[in-house]
Amino acid sequence: MKLRIAGAIALVLAAQLTVLAVMVGRHQMTLNEGTRVILKTEPIDPRSLFRGDYAILNYDISGLSESLPGGDADWKRYDTIHVVLEREKPYWKAVSMHRNRPVLAPDQVAIRGTVRDVWSRGVIWVRYGIEKYFVPEGEGRKIERPSEGNVISIEVAVDDAGNAGITAVLLNGEPVYEEALF
Amino acid sequence: MWDGLFLKRLRKEMPHWRERGWIEADGSEAILAELAARGGLSRFTPIVFAVLGVLLVGAGVILFFAANWQEMAKITKIAVLVGALIATHVAAGLSLARPGRASGAVAHALLLLGIILFGANIILIAQIYHIDRHYPDAILVWSLGALLVACLVPSEIALVAGLLLGLLWSGFETLDFGRHIHWPFLVLWLATVPLIWRNRWVWGARATMITLILWSILTFYWGFEWRDRSLERVFLAQVVLFGFLTLFWLLHVAVRRDAVSRVADAARLPALVGALLAFLALTGRYHYGLRSGSWLEGDSPPIASAAAGWVVASLVAMASSFAAAAWARRRAGARANGPSAVIGFVLLGLICLASLSNLARGLEMVPVLGIYIAFNVLFCGGLVWLIHQGYRQGDTAIVNTAFVFFAVLVLQLYFDTFWSLADRAYFFIGGGVVLFAGGYLLERQRRRLLSRGSMTRDTEDGA
């Protein structure tokens, strides 16, 4: 009886800890192996009730025009979308939108997201899973409203499957928060 | 607590029963002694205290993290989170290994704490690493973690937690990600059924039915775009109706088997409530394109042919409910061979016909108003039949449930169909007459049952 209970508890713990490890491992793999891109952002509305502060990040690529050349059209809410980003100075720019992962040129990456809304004016709102950044309590405002003349941008790693993760928050191009495993 | 009240009441009644000669003095003392020995506290009391304790500890742990978040290094945060998870599971394991009711309650409360901490781990690790992907997946993983505990330990409270988390997952997928009908929930739901059956979990059986009802309501109201007033919503309600009827009849049969009687009995009433809710949904005016104040003319209904999938699903559900009802009748033997059983089958057949008419609405050959009236009349007839069955079987829960739905139907009809003061006056007069007549018939039925009971006793005494 005692052995059976010990076995059951050990199995439960093993499964739950594996899930947590895979969660961290997958994310870390994206950060380590993904292509680094710099995105222009306009942070808005920090605060999390239970988890300290976070900044909600609104990127240039969050709202896309349907008139982007190439790619697919007729987007609907909740569609999966692959947005091709091309290296430009200082920020990477969206160049086309696709339903399936497209073939990429050397200076391009494709980031995967979900269509959150489609406006009648031809704007497609996309969520990539990099819209929240948690910071220590009280520091969210720094990102949310940088002082006059300062520019906040975000460095993101995009892996081959289109998954993205934030690697650093940049103030005037210099990292103020950097992500590490520990 | 209820045991204590029962004992008090019994002590008060015993002298009266002894006086009448129904029980001997020795017998009454033995009964009271036996009940007193069981203890004044309900078997749920330690569980309730332990669960409340767990919820307080869980809230405290989360607030502790929130208060000390900034001071902790990333590695410390992870060590504390994972350490707490491991420690709780180990403590639960140690409590489970000790015999006794109190340690059992503590063990299951600790398992619940472990489940809460597993969720806290997922959410807080996602925060530490800024992981913000498809968040319903996190709830699904949390639910699966709870169900794993339910399966391996096994633990009923973990099963209930897992089912509720599964429902939350389905809710996020439906409401935040526009899942049309979130079928994967049913896979998770089905996986819990053998677990409940094998372990004879009464609360688990109730929870599984209640979560299925809540999922059906969630899908019915939010799984479709409102603007298309989709016929699919009607088809779904029909499948849910026949599905719950099938479950009700199967559980009705299972109640007679000693091994699973309590579990089946616990799930039977929620299954009936699920069927009645789906039936009630089918009596609503808005599914037939009928607008307030102009229902006699009818609005142009949302004509569309039923997709092949819905036709197949509806036919399978109808056939299952017929087969389950026939099986239940056969198992009940001679008691279920009266005219009441025939009326029950006729009603079921008519409900199937009305549902088939809904499926055929795309053909524009079936008058929509006729289907609307048919569903309302059949619902009313079904409730009367249920009340009659409930009285015959002495099942007050069925009688009360049917009366509650009857009251809701009357209210719905009132708001759906009566718009002028004169209409409402006729409605109340008519309703009053129906209630008087119903009360008279029910009282007559009650007296007949009582007299039949006393005749049986006299015959037994004579023998």
| pLDDT digit string, tens, across residues B141-200 | 999 999 999 999 999 999 999 999 999 999 999 988 877 789 999 999 999 999 999 999
Residue A25 is assigned to a structural domain of this protein: no
Tokens of B34: 């036996």
Residue A125 is assigned to a structural domain of this protein: yes
- Which DSSP string corresponds to B31-60? HHHHHHHT-SS-THHHHHHHHHHHHHHHHH
Residue A57 is assigned to a structural domain of this protein: yes
pLDDT of residue B73: 82
Mean pLDDT over B66-95 rounds to 85
Is the CB of A5 less than 8 angstroms away from the CB of B75? no
Residue A59 is assigned to a structural domain of this protein: yes
Residue range B19-70, pLDDT digits in tens: 888 888 778 888 877 777 665 555 566 677 777 887 787 777 777 766 666 6
Report the alpha-carbon distance of residue B195 to residue B146 in Å, rounded. Answer: 13
Mutate to test the interface with A, among B80, B108, B130, B180 (most CBs of A within 10 A): B130
Is the CB of A166 less than 8 angstroms away from the CB of B131? no
B153 in Cβ contact with A8 (< 8 Å):
yes
- Is the Cβ of A116 closer than 8 Å to some Cβ of chain B? no
Report the alpha-carbon distance of residue B457 to residue B17 in Å, rounded. Answer: 17
Residue A158 is assigned to a structural domain of this protein: yes
- Is the Cβ of B115 closer than 8 Å to some Cβ of chain A? no
Report the alpha-carbon distance of residue B240 to residue B235 in Å, rounded. Answer: 9
Question: Cβ contacts (< 8 Å) between B152 and chain A: which residues?
Answer: 8, 11-12
> CA end-to-end span of chain A, whole Å?
40
Is the CB of A163 less than 8 angstroms away from the CB of B70? no
Taking only the tens of pLDDT, chain A with its 182 residues reads 678 889 999 999 999 999 999 999 999 999 999 999 999 987 655 555 444 567 788 899 999 988 887 788 889 888 999 999 999 988 999 999 999 999 998 899 999 999 998 987 789 999 999 988 877 666 666 666 667 777 888 999 999 999 999 999 888 888 888 888 77
Where does the pLDDT of residue B295 fall: very low under 50, low under 70, confident under 90, or very high at 90 and above? very low
Q: In the sheet where A123-127 sits, what is the strand order?
A: A63-65, A123-127, A108-118, A80-86, A93-98
From B1's Cα to the closest Cα of chain A, the distance in A is: 32
Domain membership of residue A94 as a residue range: 34-178
- Is the Cβ of A4 closer than 8 Å to some Cβ of chain B? no
DSSP-derived letter for residue A71 is: B
Where does the pLDDT of residue B289 fall: very low under 50, low under 70, confident under 90, or very high at 90 and above? low
Is the CB of B93 less than 8 angstroms away from the CB of A134? no
Report the alpha-carbon distance of residue B178 to residue B173 in Å, rounded. Answer: 7
Residue range B62-79, pLDDT digits in tens: 777 666 666 778 888 899
Residue A9 is assigned to a structural domain of this protein: no
Is the CB of B134 less than 8 angstroms away from the CB of A114? yes
Residue A25 has, within 13 A of its CA and on its CB side, a CA count of 6
Question: Cβ contacts (< 8 Å) between A20 and chain B: which residues?
Answer: 82, 121-122, 125
Count Cβ–Cβ pairs < 8 Å, chain A vs chain B: 102
Where does the pLDDT of residue B337 fall: very low under 50, low under 70, confident under 90, or very high at 90 and above? low
A39 in Cβ contact with A104 (< 8 Å):
no
Residue A14 is assigned to a structural domain of this protein: no
Report the alpha-carbon distance of residue B38 to residue B29 in Å, rounded. Answer: 14
Residue range B219-267, pLDDT digits in tens: 988 887 655 556 788 889 999 999 999 999 999 999 988 888 999 999 9
B271 in Cβ contact with B211 (< 8 Å):
no
The pair phi, psi for residue A66, each rounded to 5°, is -65, -15
Domain ranges within chain B, ordered by starting residue: 134-223, 231-417, 423-463
Instruction: Please give the model's pTM, rounded to 2 decimal places.
Output: 0.82
Residue of A nearest to B118 (CA): A16
ipTM value, please give it.
0.87
Number of domains in chain A: 1
Burial class of residue B333 in the structure, from the number of CB atoms within 10 Å of its CB (0-12 exposed, 13-18 middle, 19+ buried) = exposed
- Is the Cβ of A140 closer than 8 Å to some Cβ of chain B? no
B77 in Cβ contact with B18 (< 8 Å):
no
- Is the Cβ of B248 closer than 8 Å to some Cβ of chain A? no
- Is the Cβ of B126 closer than 8 Å to some Cβ of chain A? yes
| Amino acid (one-letter) located at B252 | H
From A86's Cα to the closest Cα of chain B, the distance in A is: 23
Average pLDDT of chain B to the nearest whole number: 82
Residue of B nearest to A19 (CA): B141
